[in-house]
Amino acid sequence: MAQLQPRHHNLHLPGVTLPGHRFAIGPETPLRLDCGVSLSRLDIAYQTYGQLNADRSNAILVCHALSGDQFVMERHPVTGREGWWENMVGPGLTLDTDRYFVICANVVGGCMGTTGPSDIDPATGKPYGLTFPLITIADMVRAQKLLIDHLGIESLFCVTGGSMGGMQALQWAVSYPERVFTCVPIATAARHSAQNIAFHEVGRQAIMADPDWCGGDYLAHDKRPRRGLAVARMAAHITYLSEATLHRKFGRNLQDRREVAYGFDADFQVESYLRHQGSAFVERFDANSYLYITRAMDYFDLASEHGGMLANAFRGTKSRFCVISFTSDWLFPTTQSREVVHALNAVAANVSFVEIATDKGHDAFLLDVPEFFATFSGFLNGAAEHRGVK
């Protein structure tokens, strides 16, 4: 497979070549988007781990969250940090790469190799910027389906992901039910709540209020809305944690000082932490991608295309579902997972549902939560036994 060339003008990463695979979709199979526009050229950057077995029955598609990417279980080529699901995916782990073939692709609209607003529009020779069409979760899944076709996989053993990844997993089960043997949506919902849309709007406004955003055309001006994107990330990061986590990690501890400085420096450790989160994010994420992807989440409402009845979205499904939520997740609370479970029950689908007790908030799906791993493994083992995956 071809090596990815760095195409990220906005990230200014000279010498960084993104490792992994690239699947190029040409004008012969345009991707028709929900907004009505077709993308005639689309690159999908993806990673695979493990081996596809002879009957191609062991493939697991991992869908990444808003700020994630395809580097699931390896050192990130840009940040140098470990993969975002390194405690979940790997030899002997829950998504056991000795047993399963794990695929993860950067979403459409992203900024880690898959075509997004920071890429060059072939029609104009300039970066798309805000001329990039609006995308939806269903569009992301359409693109992934083209990739899965390309890989010759008839039926995915499992589609899974947390948060926005869970939305994609649910969308897969609705759009291509016959291609999904098991679906494991984690810490997610069948529609984005008003509260979550509100948080996203704060983030977008922060980006757009940054003069360096330049009406979305910052690449042409050789600028980047660093401050705006950092603030967006800081606000969002709070929603991924819980009060208990913040209290345990930081309390009211002061940063490198014995008493408050009567100023607006980062007196408190929690401020310093958030500032770090913001500035680190800017180094690896494109501001316009952030606008597009948050919008895709806002638009997500699985029931809306089925007469407002979520159950209708799943009618006739043969997939096995395992819905997982976390007690302290206030961004995607258990009630929202339960709505999915109720809809699946209403069509007598094969569904498991667990709520994992943890105080780690929404981010629990990325963290070391043994009960979560045990439950997920058990579910997969049961399904593997049923499907005859060794």
| Contact footprint for other proteins (CB under 8 A) | 92-94, 96, 320, 322-323, 341-342, 345-348, 350-357, 371, 374-375, 377-383, 385
The nearer residue to other proteins, 96 or 286, going by C-beta atoms, is 96
Q: Which long-range contacts (CB under 8 A, 24 or more apart) does 11-19 make?
A: 11/78, 11/111, 11/118, 11/283, 11/284, 11/286, 13/78, 16/77, 16/78, 17/77, 18/45, 18/77, 18/112, 18/113, 19/47, 19/74, 19/77
In the bound state with other proteins, the residue whose beta carbon lies nearer, of 207 and 322, is 322
Tokens 């002061």 correspond to what residue?
254
Active site residue 8: no
Pair type for strands 101-105 and 59-63 = parallel
CA distance 175 to 179: 9
State how far Cα 321 lies from the chain centre. 19
Taking the complex as a whole, the smallest distance from the CB of residue 96 to other proteins amounts, in Å, to 7
> Minimum distance from CB of 353 to other proteins (Å)?
4
Least Å distance, CB 389 to other proteins, is: 11
Q: Which is nearer to other proteins, 22 or 315 (CB)?
A: 315
Rounded to whole angstroms, the Cα distance separating 161 from 177 reads 17
Q: Which is nearer to other proteins, 197 or 303 (CB)?
A: 303
- Active-site pick, 139, 267, 329, 363: 329
Q: Which of 8, 64, 200, 362 is catalytic?
A: 362
C-beta closer to other proteins: residue 269 or 327:
327
H or E element in which residue 181 lies: strand 180-186
Q: Do the beta carbons of residue 176 and residue 144 sit within 8 Å?
A: no
* 43 annotated active-site: no
Q: d(Cα 316, Cα 311) in Å, to the nearest integer?
A: 10
State the minimum distance, in angstroms, from the CB of residue 83 to other proteins.
19
Burial class for 178, CB neighbours closer than 10 Å (0-12, 13-18, 19+): exposed
Looking at residue 217, the DSSP 8-state letter turns out to be: T
Rounded least distance, CB 335 to other proteins, Å: 12
Whether the Cβ atoms of residue 357 and residue 327 lie closer than 8 Å to each other: yes
Instruction: Find the catalytic residue in 57, 67, 118, 163.
Output: 163
Q: How far is the CB of 75 from other proteins (least distance, A)?
A: 24
Taking the CA atoms of residue 385, residue 86, residue 199 and residue 139 in that order, the dihedral angle to the nearest 10 degrees is -60
362 is catalytic: yes
Which residue number, 128 or 372, has a Cβ lying nearer to other proteins? Answer: 372
Q: Which residues are catalytic?
A: 163, 329, 362
